[in-house]
Amino acid sequence: MLENLEKIKVRFQEELNAVNSTEELEKIRVSFLGKKGLVTDELKNLRNLDAEAKKTAGMQVNLLKEEIEEVIVTYQKQLEEKEYQKQIESTERFDFSIPSSVEVGTLHPITIVQKQIEDIFKTMGFIIEDGLEIQTEYNNFEAVNIPKNHPARDMQDTYYLENGQLLKTHTSAAQNTIMRKYGAPKPGEPLKVLFPGRCFRNENIDASHENTFFQLEGMMIGDDISISNLIYFMKVLLTEVFQRDVKVRLRPGFFPFVEPGFELDINCLICGGDGCPTCKQSGWLELLPCGMIHPNVLRMGGIDPDKYTGFAFGLGLTRLAMMKYNIKDIRLFNSGNLKQLKQFTK
């Protein structure tokens, strides 16, 4: 029996040395001290011994039992501590004591220019409106006098959606909705609206073309609006934005929704007119197409073209921002390159 106890002790020690977790330790506890455990077996065997032998052997077995119990308790504590540490190490922790360095964001250069123009026009009594980005074919084309199969539809490569709607190709898509919203202006109180927005065209992207760009459209409708009003507002706009005299040229331009239509070009501020990739070597940039609103467009908007006239302009906001900030590549705007974008502050 004593020999047996010695063997059990050695075996326990060996098994204990191989233990790595509290679960393994529990298994050992069961196999030595459990109901069918090795030590428990020895306790059961005591009854086969005579009284004298039972006394000494009994003492020995109980001693071993206590020893094993004690070792297991100590080991259990050590393993629990180890497992806890491991868990902590594998958890990502947030150190609240580290001082924070919060970086404040900046406005996108296009937003800056947009807000600036909005402010100029607000002081001249214009309302700011928002146009939808997903539009019906009717609003984007028909309502601005571009019927189906009209060649002008090819001028704007359109992204159509599965439901037959489209991503608006120009801010003019909001003209009809705005005319219907405000209705015919009262005498002497012309309707003056500014509606900036993001536009989409299926373009090959290069230094001066993007498939996602911003325009800013303006419209003034009243009983006495003429080309001279149009020219006046365009002049104010450009002088305020560039804060200096900018060379411009006006030439006839064709847009189905204006008659007459003009292209207001500005002298390329990047190359000074010598020719560069941004102005396609021409020295001029098409910046401000405009004209007198076509009678058909007024009529479709519920405004009587015999009583009212109006002008509209569709400023290339993205292009204007390029000019203002001397940005040579249009791709920068949608690049998400914050290091570059945040240098423009006003």
Instruction: In angstroms, give the least distance from the CB of 312 to ligand PHE.
Output: 4
Q: How far apart are CA 268 and CA 11, in angstroms?
A: 91
Q: What is the closest distance, in whole angstroms, from the C-beta atom of residue 253 to ligand PHE in the complex? A: 7
| Binding test (CB under 6 A) with ligand PHE, winner from 255, 284, 308, 333 | 255
CB 12 within 8 A of CB 68: yes
Q: Which one of 98-106, 232-240, 301-309, 311-319 is the stretch in contact with ligand PHE (CB under 6 A)?
A: 311-319
Minimal distance, residue 311 CB to ligand PHE, in Å: 8
Residue 317 or 327: the one with the smaller Cβ distance to ligand PHE is 317
Give yes or no for residue 214 binding ligand PHE (CB under 6 A): no
Number of residues in contact with ligand PHE under rule CB under 6 A: 13
At 212, phi and psi to the nearest 5? -130, 115
Binding of residue 200 to ligand PHE (CB under 6 A): no
Dihedral (CA of 112, 202, 313, 304) sign: negative
**What percent helix, strand, coil does the chain show, rounded to 5?**
45, 20, 35
Q: Is 289 in the site for ligand PHE (CB under 6 A)?
A: yes
Q: Does 225 bind ligand PHE (CB under 6 A)?
A: no
Does residue 109 belong to the site contacting ligand PHE (CB under 6 A)?
Answer: no
**Length, in residues, of the chain:** 346
Among 28, 268, 290, 332, binds ligand PHE (CB under 6 A): 290
For ligand PHE, the nearest residue by Cβ is: 314
CB 137 within 8 Å of CB 165? yes
Residue 313's H or E segment, with its range, is strand 309-316
What is the nearest approach in angstroms of ligand PHE to the Cβ of residue 263?
Answer: 9
Decide: 220 and 229 in contact? Cβ < 8 Å.
yes
DSSP string, 32-82: HHSTT-HHHHHHHHGGGS-HHHHHHHHHHHHHHHHHHHHHHHHHHHHHHHH
DSSP state of 27: H
- For residues 159-198, which are near ligand PHE according to CB under 6 A? 170, 172
| Region from 69-77, 306-314, 318-326, 337-345 binding ligand PHE, contact rule CB under 6 A | 306-314
- What is d(CA 234, CA 218) in angstroms, rounded to the nearest whole number? 10
Q: Is residue 201 part of the contact set for ligand PHE (CB under 6 A)? A: no
- Across 235-273, b (16+ Cβ under 10 Å) vs e yields eebbeebeeeeeeeeeeebebbbbeebbbbbbbbbbbee
Applying the rule CB under 6 A, the residues between 10 and 39 that interact with ligand PHE are none
- Please state the closest distance from residue 290 (CB atom) to ligand PHE, in A: 5
Least distance to ligand PHE, CB of residue 95, Å: 53
Chain positions contacting ligand PHE, by CB under 6 A: 170, 172, 215, 217, 255, 258, 261, 289-291, 312-314
